[in-house]
Amino acid sequence: MEEEVLQDKEKKGCSGCTSRCGKLDVFDWLDDLPDSINSTDVIEVQFKNTRKGYFRNSNGLKLAKGDVIAVEASPGHDIGTVTLTGELVLLQMKKNNISASTFEFKRVYRKAKPADIEKWEEAKNLEHETMLESRRLAERLNLHMKIGDVEYQGDRTKAIFYYIADERVDFRELIKVLAERFRVRIEMRQIGARQEAGRIGGIGPCGRELCCSTWMTNFVSVTTNAARYQEISLNPQKLAGQCGKLKCCLNYELDAYLDAQADFPRITTVLETEEGPYYHFKTDIFRRVMWYSTEKDFPAGVVEVPVDRVKEVIVNNRRGKKVDKLVKEDFSKLAAAEPSYQNVIGQESLTRFDENKKKKRRPNNQKGKSKRRFKPKPRKDGGKDKK
């Protein structure tokens, strides 16, 4: 009974990790199919943070998603949570470029016992203090590195230290000191600035939690060309994320911009007209409009030209002809008549709830009327009544 209570507690969530553990969850859409179809004995197991592994259920245990199990490790055993079973495991391995024929699967020992879970919890409680102590030891050895996280193995015989460093670090002396201090086997793993931001978490400039700490599982290289294609200002302070690298979200809409401007002419092309040469100034990709200036170094006499008209002018220039005007009259009239803002979502005025400050009128009833008082004029006869 105690074992079932502990396993139900682990199914609800990992007590030693944050909510970011769920960012690698996979929906098992084959869960309601018969067991004969899910014939593979390979399962997917998740450990602390984003570390996952694939193991073979050689003992034929009845495992389901959320079960806490003990698996083979080097050395000893490790404790993890089952995240996926059945045919989808093979698809996940294919997605991660892992060949089932050449991969050496480690075994699943058993479902975790209460003693295993208790020892596992004790190991996780030591991780934060171990990280702080390892940072102090690295500082004493004058190593230019930052230890960002520590992960103990389920049986407390091994510890993985995750660190970041700009240069190559000789941490052989550090490993000796750590092994003597904590009495465990030490493994050092270098991670990048993006991986560290994903482990620590935070709030991005958009106001939402960082993508790397919520749902991103792999990191694609981001270059400044992504900002150039999207006509974004090359401001390093605005393009950099919490990790100090270029924002991953610069790649989100890059393909849409590349498809939209696939047939756009080169911005280095100079348009020759009877009025003089015109140089590219800026581009509105989705409106398919380009702006050209009469001066090359600064904007002067900027003209709005559609992409089709630019292509037409370029074709005439290649034939040795100069057009009379860069923009046709019908397009200039259409551009001038087009409003700069359209209320497409039916949004009302922001001041619609403001109270109208009007002067209150007095009621017309007799009680509310103000009585005008007149001073009596002095009488000429001194105020005496005539008899």
The DSSP annotation for 116-133 comes to HHHHHHHHHHTHHHHHHH
Cα 362 to Cα 168, 223, 351: the distances in Å are: 85, 70, 28
- What is the pTM (predicted TM-score) of this model? 0.64
pLDDT score of 60: 86
Contact 153, 73 (CB under 8 A): yes
Share of the chain above pLDDT 70, in %: 76
Q: What is the mean pLDDT of residues 86-95?
A: 87
Quote the CA–CA distance of 106 and 54 in Å, as a whole number. Answer: 8
Residue type at 272 in one-letter notation: E
**Between 29 and 339, where is the model more confident?**
29
pLDDT attached to residue 379: 62
Question: Which range is most confident: 76-80, 331-335, 365-369, 380-384?
Answer: 76-80
Pairwise CA distance, residues 331 & 244, whole Å: 45
Q: What is the pLDDT, as a whole number, of residue 298?
A: 87
Helix (H), strand (E) at residue 293: strand 289-293
DSSP, residue by residue, 224-248 = HHHHHHTT----HHHHB-TTSSBPG
Structure tokens at 1: 């009974």
Structure confidence at residue 122 (pLDDT): 92
DSSP conformational letter for 151: E
Do β-strands 52-56 and 42-46 pair in parallel, antiparallel, or remain unpaired? antiparallel
Give the pLDDT mean for 61-76. 89
Q: What letter does residue 296 receive in the DSSP assignment?
A: S
- Residue-wise pLDDT for 5-59, tens only, equals 444 444 444 444 444 555 666 777 777 766 545 568 899 998 876 788 999 998 8
When pLDDT is averaged across residues 273-284 and rounded to a whole number, the result is 90
The pLDDT, as a whole number, for residue 385 is 53
Q: Which residues of 271-296 are buried (b: 16+ CB within 10 A; e: fewer)?
A: bbbeeeebbbbebebeeebbebbbee
126-191 has which CATH code? Answer: 3.30.300.20
pLDDT in tens, 286-314: 889 999 999 888 888 888 999 999 999 99
Distance CA 97, CA 341 (A): 49
Q: Taking 60 as the threshold, does the pLDDT of residue 383 lie above it?
A: no
* Separation CA 230–CA 223 (nearest Å): 12
Task: List the alpha helices (DSSP H) in 183-322.
Answer: 193-200, 224-229, 236-239, 254-260, 307-318
Cβ distance 50 to 198 under 8 Å?
yes
Q: What is the pLDDT of residue 372?
A: 55
Predicted pLDDT of residue 161: 94
Residue 294 tokens read as 């009469």
Q: Per-residue pLDDT tens for 136-184? A: 999 999 999 999 889 999 988 999 999 999 888 898 999 999 999 999 9
Calculate mean pLDDT across residues 245-269: 91
CA-to-CA dists, residue 8 to 4, 13, 47, 81, angstroms? 6, 9, 17, 12
Collapsing DSSP to helix, strand or coil, 350 comes out as coil
Give CA–CA dist 357/344, Å, rounded: 30
Residue 38 pLDDT: 55
User: Is 114:70 a contact under the CB 8 Å cutoff?
Assistant: no
Q: Parse the chain into domains and list their residue ranges.
A: 2-113, 126-191, 197-260, 271-337
What is the per-residue pLDDT across 199-250, written as a single tens digit (0 to 9) for each?
Answer: 888 898 889 999 988 888 778 889 999 998 898 888 988 899 988 899 999 9
d(CA 227, CA 214): 24
d(CA 47, CA 69): 11
Strand partners, 150: 161
| Order of strands across the sheet that contains 185-190 | 146-152, 158-164, 185-190
Do 51 and 17 meet the contact criterion of CB atoms below 8 Å apart?
no
When the pLDDT of each residue in the chain is averaged and rounded to a whole number, the result is 81
Distances (CA, A) of 386 to 136, 183, 379, 380, 381: 116, 128, 12, 12, 9
d(CA 366, CA 250): 73
- The C-alpha atoms of residue 233 and residue 100 are separated, in whole angstroms, by 46
Quick check: 175 and 186 in contact, CB under 8 A? yes
